[in-house]
Amino acid sequence: MNRGNEGTEAPHAHPVEERLRTLFIRSLDGDSAAYHVFLQELAKHVRALLRKRLPNLRDDVEDILQEVLLAIHKGRHTYRRDEPLTAWVHAILRYKLADFLRARARHEALNDPLDDVPHLFGESGIEPAEVRRDLGKLLDLLPDRQRLPILHVKVEGRSVEETARATGLSEPAVKVGVHRGLKALALKIRGGKT
Cβ partners under 8 Å of residue 154, min gap 6? 121, 178, 182
pLDDT tens track for 66-76: 999 999 999 99
Phi, psi of 57, rounded to the nearest 5 degrees? -125, 40
Q: pTM higher than 0.85, yes or no?
A: no
Cβ partners under 8 Å of residue 131, min gap 6? 124
Average pLDDT over residues 51-55: 86
CATH topology of 15-110 equal to that of 114-193? no
pLDDT tens track for 6-15: 444 444 568 8
Say if residue 52's pLDDT is above 80.
yes
Query: 3-state DSSP call for residue 2?
Result: coil
pLDDT over 70, % of the chain: 76
Q: Share the mean pLDDT of the chain.
A: 79
| HSE-CB of 159 using CA atoms within 13 angstroms | 3
Residue 152 banded pLDDT, cuts 50, 70, 90: confident
Enumerate the domain spans of the chain: 15-110, 114-193
Say if residue 171's pLDDT is above 80.
yes
Cβ partners under 8 Å of residue 167, min gap 6? 148, 149, 152, 174
- 163 within 8 A of 191, measured Cβ to Cβ: no
Phi, psi of 182, rounded to the nearest 5 degrees? -65, -40
**Pure H helices in the chain:** 15-28, 32-53, 58-75, 85-110, 128-140, 144-149, 160-167, 171-193
What whole-number distance in Å separates Cα of residue 69 and Cα of residue 2?
Answer: 36
pLDDT tens track for 18-49: 999 999 999 999 999 999 999 999 999 999 98
Domain 15-110 has CATH 1.10.1740.10: yes
Cβ partners under 8 Å of residue 13, min gap 6? 21, 84
**Where does 114-193 sit in CATH, by number?**
1.10.10.10
Say if residue 124's pLDDT is above 50.
no
